[in-house]
A = this chain, B = another copy of it.
């Protein structure tokens, strides 16, 4: 499987979020080398605190597969998931998680990083650092623009 190919598609989603002035995070769900769901962060647009890219992609994939267990699925996400999304990934039985940028900003990131690592390792196969620079760059651009307002 070519991780960069799918992460590029997740980045396309992040860019859609950027254009909507949402924190630019994108995600795709892949099964049998096919993208079955894609989403970007829509927290402000939907006025929904759970509308992170990962949650929306997981819900979409469940609709596509007609069941809540995403067996055989991989999730590509441009930024390290928060605790909520991490829990959702485990709840959904996703088997592989592929991450772009590390999370260095959110309310979850500080001492929670050890927990994240343990929880992930216990439940799921994880790959870090796919297109990390690009995933990180769009986030930095977003926060820079935000500070200028």
Number of copies: 2
Query: Does A37 touch B at the CB level, under 8 Å?
Result: no
Residue of B44, B63, B66, B123 near A68 (CB, 8 A) is B44
Residue pair B47, A66 in contact (C-beta under 8 Å): yes
Q: What's the Cα separation between A137 and B52 when bound, in Å? A: 34
Residue pair B87, A108 in contact (C-beta under 8 Å): yes
Query: Does A115 touch B at the CB level, under 8 Å?
Result: yes
Residue of B49, B68, B88 near A58 (CB, 8 A) is B49
Among A44, A50, A62, A123, max chain B CB count under 10 A is at: A50
Q: Count of chain A residues with Cβ under 8 Å from any Cβ of B?
A: 38
Chain B residues near A118 (CB-CB < 8 A): 111
Chain B residues near A85 (CB-CB < 8 A): 84, 87
Query: Does A131 touch B at the CB level, under 8 Å?
Result: no
Residue of B62, B90, B111 near A83 (CB, 8 A) is B90
Residue pair A59, B50 in contact (C-beta under 8 Å): yes
Chain B residues near A43 (CB-CB < 8 A): 68
Q: What's the Cα separation between A76 and B109 when bound, in Å? A: 26
Question: Which A residues form the contact surface with B (CB < 8 A)?
Answer: 43-44, 46-52, 55, 58-59, 62-63, 66-70, 82-88, 90-93, 107-108, 111-112, 115, 118-119, 123
